[in-house]
Amino acid sequence: MKKKNILYLIILLLVIYSCIPSKKVRYLQNLNQDSLTNKYLSTTEEYKLQFGDNLYVIAESLDPETQVVLSGNVQNQANQSVGAKYKDVYLIGDDGFINLPHLGKLQIAGKTLIQAYDTINLKYAHFFNQVKVNVRLADGFVTILGEVNKPGRYELSYKDRISIYELIGLAGDLKKQADRNKIKIVRRNNNENQVFLIDLTKVEALENPNFYLQPNDLVYVEPLKAVFWAQESFPFMSTVSIVLATITSLLVIFTYSKQ
């Protein structure tokens, strides 16, 4: 009996240490299953351009003569911003301005993409005929760290935002031991760092203002407290688990061989 009691105790310890309830790893748990369609209104705040952002700006005209002028200047790399990484991309400087061909310096920082488009389009229309302007965020990055399968820095690729679920998908999903209840989002705004929390296990996350991430956001995923405590208190526990599993198997074989 003593051997069986020891065997049961070892098995119990292994189960307690290794098992994480499914409730801890499921997303959107309180979704209304009775409804055929669940609708949730996003209240995300539009991204405001900051110094260090790169804007893709291209101006085209239906007027042949105007198009020749616009095309010739765009191809001249010397006329582009010093921080431009490639053709038609312009850096927003520390002063909040970008330097565009023909237009010179324009104050852009603090504006949304729509407001920036309006400003640039109005200026081009003032000097040229039948001009069509395209303004986009050239590059933006979001970073995810912690309990994810592929932590790192991910490019937005001409997008000014990405949902937190999209980012998690790029990062290969969260690990099982990740705390989905308190995902931290660190955002720099007006030279200040702000920290927001979002609970991915609740369907209300879809209506969270921070559901859509902004360029330069940092997402940090902590481990579950129980897992964190076990790792901090018993850093050797994973090795012990392997040893215990081996001992358990040997005890099972020994017990049944004596019967």
The helix or strand, by DSSP H or E, that contains position 137, with its residue range, turns out to be strand 131-139
**Mean pLDDT confidence for 190-194:** 80
Q: How large a percentage of the chain has pLDDT more than 70?
A: 62
**23-45+140-223: CATH number:** 3.10.560.10
14, pLDDT greater than 80: no
256, pLDDT greater than 60: no
Other Cβ atoms less than 10 A from the Cβ of 236: the count is 8
Question: So where are the chain's domains?
Answer: 2-20+236-258, 23-45+140-223, 54-139
pTM of the model: 0.66
| Contact (Cβ atoms closer than 8 angstroms) between residue 150 and residue 172 | yes
Domains 23-45+140-223 and 54-139 share a fold: no
Strands 183-189 and 192-198, bridge-based pairing:
antiparallel
pLDDT tens digits for range 123-172: 998 888 888 898 988 878 899 999 999 999 998 876 667 899 999 999 99
DSSP for 27-39?
A: SSTT--TT-S---
Specify the amino acid at residue 194.
Q
**If you search the block for the tokens 């850096």, which residue do you land on?**
91
Nearest-angstrom CA–CA distance, 32 and 27: 13
Rg (alpha carbons) of the chain, rounded to whole number? 28
| Partners of 205 in beta bridges | none
Start-end of H helices in 128-236: 164-170, 225-233
Give the per-residue pLDDT at 79.
43
CATH architecture of the region 54-139:
2-Layer Sandwich (3.30)
**Mean pLDDT confidence for 17-22:** 56
Non-local CB neighbours of 133 within 8 Å, separated by 6+ positions: 57, 58, 59, 60, 117, 120, 121, 124
pLDDT tens digits for range 54-92: 888 988 888 787 778 877 644 444 344 444 446 788 989
pLDDT tens digits for range 201-221: 888 888 888 999 988 899 999
Higher pLDDT, 133 or 33: 133
